Amino acid sequence: MQCHSDIAAEWRSSLHRQSWEDPVFQSAYSVEPLAFCRGCHAPTSNPKKTPTVAAGRNGVDCVTCHVQQGGIVGSGEHAASAAHPVFADARLSTEAACGGCHQFNFPPISKQVVPQAMQNTLAEHEQSRFSDTPCQSCHMPVVETGGASHHRHDFSVLGNAAMIRSAAKVRASLTGANQVEVVVVADGVGHAFPTGDMFRRLEVRAEVRDSGGRTTNTLRPVILARRFADKPRQAAGAGGGFQRVQVGDDRVAPPGFGEPRRVTFAIPGSPSAERVHYQVVYQRMSAPMASAFRVDRALDEIVLAEGDVALAANLPTKKEHP
pLDDT tens, position by position, 54-92: 999 999 999 999 888 778 888 776 655 666 777 888 888
Q: Convert the pLDDT of each residue in 82-96 to its tens digit.
A: 667 778 888 888 999
- The dotted CATH code for 99-322 is 2.60.40.10
Q: Convert the pLDDT of each residue in 214-253 to its tens digit.
A: 999 999 999 999 999 998 887 656 567 888 899 999 999 9
DSSP 45: S
pTM: 0.88
Amino acid occupying residue 143: V
| Distance from C-alpha of 217 to C-alpha of 32, rounded to nearest angstrom | 41
For the cut 80, the answer to whether the pLDDT of residue 318 exceeds it is no
CA distance to 46, 228, 245, 285, per residue, from 248 (Å): 36, 7, 9, 16
| Distance from C-alpha of 221 to C-alpha of 234, rounded to nearest angstrom | 36
* Start and end residues for every CATH 2.60.40.10 domain found in the chain: 99-322
The pairing of beta strand 103-105 with beta strand 117-120: antiparallel
What is the model's pLDDT at position 87?
Answer: 81
Helix (H, G, I), strand (E, B) or coil at 260: coil
